[in-house]
Structures are given as structure tokens and as C-alpha cells.
Structure 1
């Protein structure tokens, strides 16, 4: 139960002014620009876009600036803006097989058709602070970005050619993709809705669940079949025109995990898949998503659901960081009436407890 707090409007306005002052910081330093955030803190911008479910680098950078770098606050801001946008259609599924690849690695095959492409990554750095970045840290010259072929074979295609991996499932022609943002959640979920929830789920939460599956809390023995990052084309089929229109290109990260499956009465021994796809360059999130996706498919393969990462309702109900933040942070709001009620209850319970203790003492003394 909440109660109105009188006279709080002025205090709130002052709090907003103080927040704006702290956001701006030292006036002797130039204000950070949206372009600087996009170009120099791109991975943070990518995470905001991914977990807000809105691909717009400028708006994501604006949210990041407005939130003073608080990722979840920025995600909340961008999601709130997203709800104001009109829906005018549904794009066709992006064809990641035709991705303009900027990075592509596999832990399963050393020699790949198309080769391994390391791209921009922290994987091979020494994790040592670079003092040169205390200054401008200008790179001598821009690094040339080599072009890639339009189609780079997937690792899963190699395994599929030998019949060693489960088929890349096809949806029925009459299947209508669900929309988690417009439909209430119901369990059990179809996989397309589940993947939507994971794609916008909190990276830290999914990372912890993914880690748990590797420590025995789930039946997984994963290999990174392939991680690829690059540009894919987004297309919209316009019925009035009778053909597909290209809306532009977006950068995404895709991960396919390969997991061993011993087989069942219905399926032979083979490899199974876990899948992750997120906006921007976000490999940790895509990997965690694919590991959790595979764990949540336990029922499909007749596996016992024993671990938290295999419990669909637990995972999906708690992976949304905006919802989780709202529920935790609402504790900061006034709960005066609730607390006074509990305070009165605890006092009465203590008085009753003391009376019972005194009776026991008197009884022992009498005996």
C-alpha cells in the first residue's frame, strides 16, 4: 500500500537538476558527444540496443549518455521509447548465411571453408592496462577492413552433410511468429518466443546460467560450432508492391553451439544445436544465449529437467533486467503503512513471547 507524499514536487525537481549537473560533470571538459559514444564505446551501445530490442545506434547512445553510463537505465529508456513507435510490418527472417562477415571463428574445425577470421576481438589481448589511452591514444592510421564473400559456409552445414547434427528446424508455412512485447507470457513457450526473451535478457544473468550448465547444472558438453559477426540485410515484403524491399543493413552476432546427444528411442546419436543471435557485436551474450537455449530444450530430447537453466519458467521469468530492476527498485518507494503494520505485529509478537517466557520461568520457580 502506497501513500501520497506531500510537498515532494520541489524536492524531485531539485533531484533532477542535481542529476543533470552530475551528468554534465566538470564544465572545463568538453561534453561527450553521441558520435563519440557510437564510435568509441560501441560495445556498450550494442548491448543497450540488444536488450532494448531496438536497433538504432544514435538513440542507444543518447540513452547511454542520459543514464550516465548505467546500462540497465539506458535499456529502460530505449524500451520506453520503443513502445511509442508504430508497427507497420514484419521483416523477413534475416539470412545470416549471406552475412558480410567481419569476424568468424570456430572451435570445432581448424581449417574451415572461408577460413577463420579473427576480426576485432579482445580474445588475444593480455588484459594489461594501456597507459597510452590516458592521452588521445590516436591510431596512426585507419585499419583497412578486408571484404568477404557474400556466402561463407556454416560449420553446421559440414556436420549436416554427414547427417551428424539435428536438422535446422523448419517452421510450418502457416506459423505466425510470436511477439513477446505484445502478447502475455504463457508457459510452455514455443522456441521462437523463448529466443526472443533470451535475446533481450540480461547478459549477466544469462552468462551465470550458461556458466552453471558447464559446471554440471545441466546436461551439456558444448563446443562453439561457429561465432560470426557482420552485416546482414533486412528486407520487408510489401504486398501492395508484390516484391521485397531492402530496409538496410544491421550488424549482428550469431552463435551456434554444438552439443553431444547420446540418442533416444526416437533419434539416433548426433549433435544438437543451441542458438544465439543479438544486435551488434556481443559474443558473450550470443554464447550465453545459445548455451541456455540448448539447456531449455531438454524436453525435446527426453532429458530430465534438474537444473535452473533447464527450467523454462524460472529462466524466462527472471532474465528480463528491466522487469527485475523495477521490482527490486520499487522497494525504494514509500512503504510507510506496510512497515508500520509489520512493526506493530513484531511488537505484539515480542510481547506475547516475553509473556510466555515469564510464565515458564514462574512455573519452573513454583516447581
Structure 2
């Protein structure tokens, strides 16, 4: 079969778009369900998918994410692309105050390192202990005995929720002190792209909007020996937290709403110049919505990328800052990979002409080797 250039141009593109429109909004649809109702159903029944889109698009708006998910026909990366394009049109008028995650209202709070933690273990809605059987939740029997609370009443809970596992380890000097600095310049990576070496804040921003699958694969590699990671989850918390701003014209802080976040604090292997100075090290993940898998993977990669800071050799891909940060963005990766579907007729014809010329004159410009090689 000979190579034939594809023709069609603008007419073909318009027809392709019309096919998508007819698939999304068929004119002979008997149900006539309004689009906004479909979006509400998506947000209700596919919440985790909507949360993933919001996280990777860096925009917390459930309605917009659901609308993009519908328009993309369930392609989450395409939906992220759509939401990011929409995000680029929005004005930015004020920075929020640092989130007070210790004051969050947790729907889920677990620790794999300690059984008894401040605030108590709270399983919430989780697939961690379910059977992966189709239809498993349809006829689930009601529990006969309600689980006993692991904490005391609210008067004690309000007292303990401010001190987490990391704070308890800090009090004993068993973990490195937090390196977070609120005075660090707040550089939004969507406005000022990070260079290399990047600050930890820039790395965390990049990882927070990175592709979950990429982070998962890289995090998995650190557990298989391609990076120094022997992790324990100190706390995994998912819940709602207040967003506060301080308008200059008011001079005081006001709450403008709540968002759902997932936070993972990871304990990693020892570090120290002497046995007396040895402490556990940290990894951290914070993501929009209910995104536990991504928050955990982010915490593992955060620790791996701190190798130079901790005096460790950079030997594995997950420890290579430039490799990880340059390849973790799904929109950028999609652009490079999927652009191969677009017309490259001129480039390919040039390659064909070059190959034909080489085959027509195989020895032109080459010196014969005395051994006939």
C-alpha cells in the first residue's frame, strides 16, 4: 500500500466536532435529561473521578470539573486539559492564608504507624477492606455491632486534634523538624515556571497537579529499591478545611468557604551524621479532594526528591528532580504524545525522500573498509 496524504482540512475537522456533539447531546434522546442534571449525577456517583480532575487541573470547582468530564466523554486527561484552559481565563485577585489543616473536619483519619493517635482512627468511606467483587455493595448487610469510638467525647477531641503524630515524634526528638517556611516567597508555578534546582515548595506544587498514574509508578519504584524509601504513614487525613483570605481593605481574616483536601504525612528511614543525631525523615503530600492514592505517592516522591538535601546519592529515577518534574504533567505529556496524530505529511515526505536517496546510492560518500565491513 502506497502512502497517500490525508485530505479534508477544515471541513473534516468541523464534521469530527459535529460527531462528538451528536454523541454528547443526541437530538433523538428520549430521556431529555438536562445537562446540568447529568453533571450533578456525575459529581454524586463519580466523586473520586471529579476530585482527580480538580487536583490535576489545579482548580477547585466541582461543577466545572463535572462539565469537563462530560464533555470529554469520561477521558479524565482530556477533562483536565479543558479545565486548565478554563482556569487560564480566570483572574487572580488574592492569595489565601495558609490552610489550618489541624482544624479540618475529617471524614477519614488513619495512621498505619500508630494504633492510638490524637483525634482517633476514623475509617470513613474506604475500599481498603472491601472485596473487589462486582456488585459487592448492592446487598451489603447492616453491621450488627457499631464500632466503638477510639477517642473520648468532643471535649477531649478538640484538645487533641491540634497535635498530630509528627508533633509527638518531634517532642521526643525522633523526627527531623519541619523545614516548611511560611516566609518563603509564594511563587505560583503556573505563572512562574520552576527552574532547576527547584525549591521544595515548587516541587510540591508540581507534584500536586501531576498525573496520578505517573506518580504512582514512580512511588512504586522507590519501594522496590530504586530510591531510599522505607515508609510508614504517620497520618492520612481527608476532610474539609476552611479557606480564609485577608482583604487589604478590611485588614482582618474572613472565611470564604470550604474545600475538601487529602493530606499524607509520611515517616521515612533514619538520617543523621551520628547515631545520637539519627532521626526519622519526612515525606509530605497534599491534594485537592479525596485523592488518597495520589497523596501517598506524592509523599513518597517528596521524600525521594529530598535526596540531595539529605546528603544521599541520586541514583534512581525517582530521586532525579529534573526527570520527575519534567515528565509528571499529564497535559504536557499528552500534548507531546498525541500531537503525533496530527498531520505530519511534509515531514514524512521529507523522510521518505531521504530514505529513497540513501537506498538509490548506498555507497555514495562512504569509504570501503579493507575487511569488507
Deviation at 1:114, TM superposition (A): 1.9
Report the equivalent of 1:49: 54
CA distance in 1, matches of 2:25, 2:127: 30
Is the contact between residue 271 and residue 310 of structure 2 (CA under 8 Å) also seen in structure 1? no
Deviation at 1:162, TM superposition (A): 0.5
Q: TM-score, with normalisation over the residues of structure 1?
A: 0.88
Aligned length: 350
Q: Does 1:161 align with 2:162?
A: no
Question: What is the DSSP-based 3-state SS (H/G/I as helix, E as strand, rest coil) of the residue aligned with 1:353?
Answer: coil
CA distance in 1, matches of 2:111, 2:31: 44
Q: Deviations over 1:193-240 (max 9, x none)?
A: 110000000000000000000000001101111100001011111122
Bigger drift between 274-283 and 7-16 goes to 7-16
CA distance in 1, matches of 2:126, 2:238: 11
Deviation at 1:170, TM superposition (A): 3.9
Report the equivalent of 1:230: 239
Is the contact between residue 264 and residue 301 of structure 1 (CA under 8 Å) also seen in structure 2? no
Question: What is the DSSP-based 3-state SS (H/G/I as helix, E as strand, rest coil) of the residue aligned with 1:89?
Answer: coil
Bigger drift between 262-271 and 154-163 goes to 262-271
CA distance in 2, matches of 1:228, 1:24: 39
Deviation at 1:351, TM superposition (A): 2.6
**For structure 2, which runs of at least 5 residues remain unmatched after alignment?**
1-5, 143-148
CA distance in 2, matches of 1:46, 1:170: 26
Report the equivalent of 2:145: none
Q: TM-score, with normalisation over the residues of structure 2?
A: 0.87
Report the equivalent of 2:11: 10
Give matches, 1:20-35, under 5 Å.
20-24=21-25, 27-28=29-30, 31=33, 33-35=38-40
Is the contact between residue 237 and residue 262 of structure 2 (CA under 8 Å) also seen in structure 1? yes
Report the equivalent of 1:87: 92
Give matches, 1:165-314, under 5 Å.
165-171=175-181, 173=183, 175-264=184-273, 268-314=277-323
Question: What is the DSSP-based 3-state SS (H/G/I as helix, E as strand, rest coil) of the residue aligned with 1:38?
Answer: helix
CA distance in 2, matches of 1:305, 1:30: 58
Report the equivalent of 1:315: 324
Is the contact between residue 101 and residue 229 of structure 1 (CA under 8 Å) also seen in structure 2? yes
Is the contact between residue 296 and residue 312 of structure 1 (CA under 8 Å) also seen in structure 2? yes
Is the contact between residue 48 and residue 60 of structure 1 (CA under 8 Å) also seen in structure 2? yes
Is the contact between residue 45 and residue 57 of structure 1 (CA under 8 Å) also seen in structure 2? yes
CA distance in 2, matches of 1:345, 1:167: 61
CA distance in 1, matches of 2:61, 2:136: 32
Question: What is the DSSP-based 3-state SS (H/G/I as helix, E as strand, rest coil) of the residue aligned with 2:277?
Answer: coil
CA distance in 1, matches of 2:211, 2:136: 32
Report the equivalent of 2:73: 68
